[in-house]
Amino acid sequence: MAIVGGRNINVFVGLFTATATWVGGAYINGTAEIVYLPSKGLLWVQAPMGFALSLVIGGFFFVNPMRSKNYVTVMDPLQETYGNVMGSLLFIPPLLGEVFWFAAILASLGATMRVILDIGGSVAIIISACTVILYTLLGGLYSVAYTDVIQLVFITLSLWVCIPFALVNSATESIYFTATHISYQEPWIGKIEKQYLGRWLDDFFYLVLGSIPWQTYFQRVLSTASLGQARLISCLSGFGCFLMSIPSVLIGAVAASTDWNQTSYGLPSPLERGESATILPLVLHHLCPAYISIAGLGAIAAAAMSSADSALLSASSMFAHNIYRKLLRKKATETEVLWAMRTSMLVFGAEAAGLAFYSSSVYDLWFLSGELVYALLFPQLCCALFVPSTNTYGSAAGFLVGLLLRLLAGEPALSIPPTICYLTCSLVNGTYSQLFPFKTFNVLLTSGTIIAVSNLAVVLFERNLLPRRWDVCNITGGASTLIPLQQMEKQMGSSVVALEKNHD
């Protein structure tokens, strides 16, 4: 009941909660930010289409194998295929992803509060974190799902109310004109230069495929009453995510078309002040009447809550069900598991609130939250569900290869220089940038490693090229499988003798 709502969530609530899960504060703030940035623009806003395709692909290919075995979390097939110990190691990437995601959401809300209400961002982060933890802790999936319905309606109405005021402001040029013409900055439609095409494709595949192996997604499709409902919710919520990006795109376009010197904000512009991450609340505050900007703030707060509670419930569900119950306390009662879940909510919520104080860019933090999940968990999940011949040895080798390759590729947002410079790696403003689609290359190489090492291990042990006593993961059964076979042969032999006597 606490994790998947007794598998009885109706289609209406399921659709709203699945859409609201992805449409968070980082989603609407980050979309507006990318449209506004002269170096990016609309063509670099990949999340709406990426999330939409991700939900459709998940509905057609991943929902059925997950529901057919009545799994509760995304970690269940991994533990079933690769064992509890390896499963606990694979729990680390999604845990970090959920905590980083929660932190990104709180950071975006804190930045918004600071701009519109002129209060400390830390106060907003603490209040929001406490609110989310409280109602998620009390109600589990039901409280999260039904509050998502209210929050999504509020997000939609509040943002669309703000759009007309921002568009008709006297300081704003026509967004149709500035889409293709230079006005106050480069056209907000953006462009993809040839040398950045590999990076664009890499980021797009990351959003499409890397958004699948999240407990927040599977928690929704596993909570419905039937497979058909789960697929319907998954596909329609993808369309909903795409539609919910339109207000943010328009606000980003307005910001790129505004003469900030004619507003109360003045010069220099938000870009020159390094405040592009808060462009959405800046537009609401300086281009809309006060009472309208407050409504916009409500939309951002609702968006933050709708995704923050999902991330918190997801992380605590996996810890309680897959780590505490299956590894630490295999004989734990239902009540004990629930208390473990509630305790982990408090711990993970406090960690995310602490990380939110150190975020410099909403979009960077949001993007980084799924890096490890895409590089390490997606290949493992695909192999566990669709390649039954894989085993623990392949999983461990794939984990090590994927982790090593990702760390050695570096990360500009964290000022980590690359050790491996792939093709077209370039030095821009003193920072190395990987233009090669290394994240997707990493996923392909990790998948190949899992399959190859799994098959190699089976061959080595079954053909006795390695002693079976070295098979610590027991993929061949070792000597234990020989005893039942010998006993079966003896039983068959005695049965044949008995049949011959009866015939005589």
Q: What is the 3-state secondary structure (H, E, C) of 233-268?
A: HHHHHHHHHHHHCHHHHHHHHHHHCECHHHCCCCCC
Q: Is residue 500 assigned to a domain?
A: no
Q: How many domains does the chain have?
A: 2
Kindly state whether residues 342 and 463 are assigned to the same domain.
Answer: no
Kindly state whether residues 84 and 190 are assigned to the same domain.
Answer: yes
Give the whole-angstrom CA distance, residue 488 versus residue 283. Answer: 77
Q: Is residue 404 assigned to a domain?
A: yes
Q: Is residue 151 assigned to a domain?
A: yes
How many residues are listed for the chain in this entry? 504
Kindly state whether residues 326 and 291 are assigned to the same domain.
Answer: yes
290-318 and 92-116 helices, crossing angle to 10°: 160
What letter would DSSP give residue 486?
A: H
DSSP secondary structure, 368-381, as one string: HTTHHIIIIIHHHH
| Strand-pair partners of 431 | 428
Q: How many CA atoms lie less than 13 Å away from 189 in the CB half-sphere?
A: 10
Q: Is residue 340 assigned to a domain?
A: yes
Side chain identity at 146, as an amino acid letter? Y
Instruction: Pull the structure tokens for residue 160.
Output: 């669309």
Task: Yes or no: say if 104 and 26 are a contact pair by the CB < 8 Å rule.
Answer: yes
Instruction: Pull the structure tokens for residue 145.
Output: 């799902």
Task: Yes or no: say if 439 and 367 are a contact pair by the CB < 8 Å rule.
Answer: no
Instruction: Pull the structure tokens for residue 364.
Output: 């960077």
Q: Secondary structure of 393-454 in the HEC alphabet?
A: HHHHHHHHHHHHHHHHCCEHHHCECCCCCCCCCEEECCEEECCCCHHHHHHHHHHHHHHHHH
Q: Is residue 345 assigned to a domain?
A: yes
Kindly state whether residues 349 and 402 are assigned to the same domain.
Answer: no
Give the whole-angstrom CA distance, residue 34 versus residue 249. Answer: 9
Other CB atoms within 10 Å distance of the CB of residue 351: 17
- pLDDT for residue 351: 87
Kindly state whether residues 59 and 202 are assigned to the same domain.
Answer: yes
Kindly state whether residues 338 and 397 are assigned to the same domain.
Answer: no
Nearest to 443 by CA among 376, 382, 368: 376
What letter would DSSP give residue 39?
A: T
Nearest to 67 by CA among 219, 239, 236: 219
- Indicate if the alpha-carbon torsion angle 232, 301, 294, 184 is positive or negative: negative
Residues 6+ apart with CB under 8 A from 451: 383, 387, 389, 390, 394
- pLDDT for residue 160: 92
Kindly state whether residues 223 and 294 are assigned to the same domain.
Answer: yes
Outline where DSSP puts E strands in 175-300.
Answer: none
Side chain identity at 329, as an amino acid letter? R
Residue corresponding to tokens 């790696």: 425
Indicate which CATH number applies to the domain containing 266.
1.20.1730.10
Kindly state whether residues 463 and 327 are assigned to the same domain.
Answer: no
Q: Which domain holds residue 419?
A: 387-475
This model's pTM is above 0.85:
yes
Q: Is residue 466 assigned to a domain?
A: yes
Instruction: Pull the structure tokens for residue 74.
Output: 């995304």
Kindly state whether residues 228 and 263 are assigned to the same domain.
Answer: yes
Q: Is residue 480 assigned to a domain?
A: no
What letter would DSSP give residue 353?
A: H
Q: Is residue 188 assigned to a domain?
A: yes
Kindly state whether residues 413 and 286 are assigned to the same domain.
Answer: no
Other CB atoms within 10 Å distance of the CB of residue 281: 26
Kindly state whether residues 28 and 172 are assigned to the same domain.
Answer: yes
- Indicate if the alpha-carbon torsion angle 72, 78, 79, 84 is positive or negative: negative
* Cα 316 to Cα 26, 143, 280, distances in angstroms: 21, 15, 31
Task: Yes or no: say if 391 and 458 are a contact pair by the CB < 8 Å rule.
Answer: yes
Task: Yes or no: say if 211 and 217 are a contact pair by the CB < 8 Å rule.
Answer: yes
Nearest to 55 by CA among 203, 235, 231: 235
3-state secondary structure of 224: strand
Task: Determine the straight-line distance between the first and last CA of the chain, rounded to whole angstroms.
Answer: 63
Kindly state whether residues 317 and 393 are assigned to the same domain.
Answer: no
Task: Yes or no: say if 90 and 78 are a contact pair by the CB < 8 Å rule.
Answer: yes
Outline where DSSP puts E strands in 126-177.
Answer: none
Local confidence pLDDT in tens for the 504 residues of the chain: 888 888 889 999 999 999 988 887 778 888 999 999 999 999 999 999 999 999 999 999 999 999 999 999 999 999 999 999 899 899 988 888 888 888 877 877 777 777 767 777 788 788 888 888 888 888 788 888 888 888 888 888 889 999 999 999 999 999 999 999 998 999 999 999 988 999 999 999 999 999 999 999 999 999 998 999 999 999 999 999 999 999 999 999 999 999 999 999 998 999 999 889 889 989 998 999 988 888 888 887 887 777 888 889 999 999 999 999 999 998 889 999 999 999 999 999 998 888 887 765 544 655 666 787 898 899 999 999 999 999 999 999 999 999 999 888 887 776 778 888 888 787 777 777 888 999 999 999 999 999 999 999 999 999 989 998 899 988 886 443 333 333 444 444 444 444 444 445
Task: Yes or no: say if 414 and 346 are a contact pair by the CB < 8 Å rule.
Answer: no
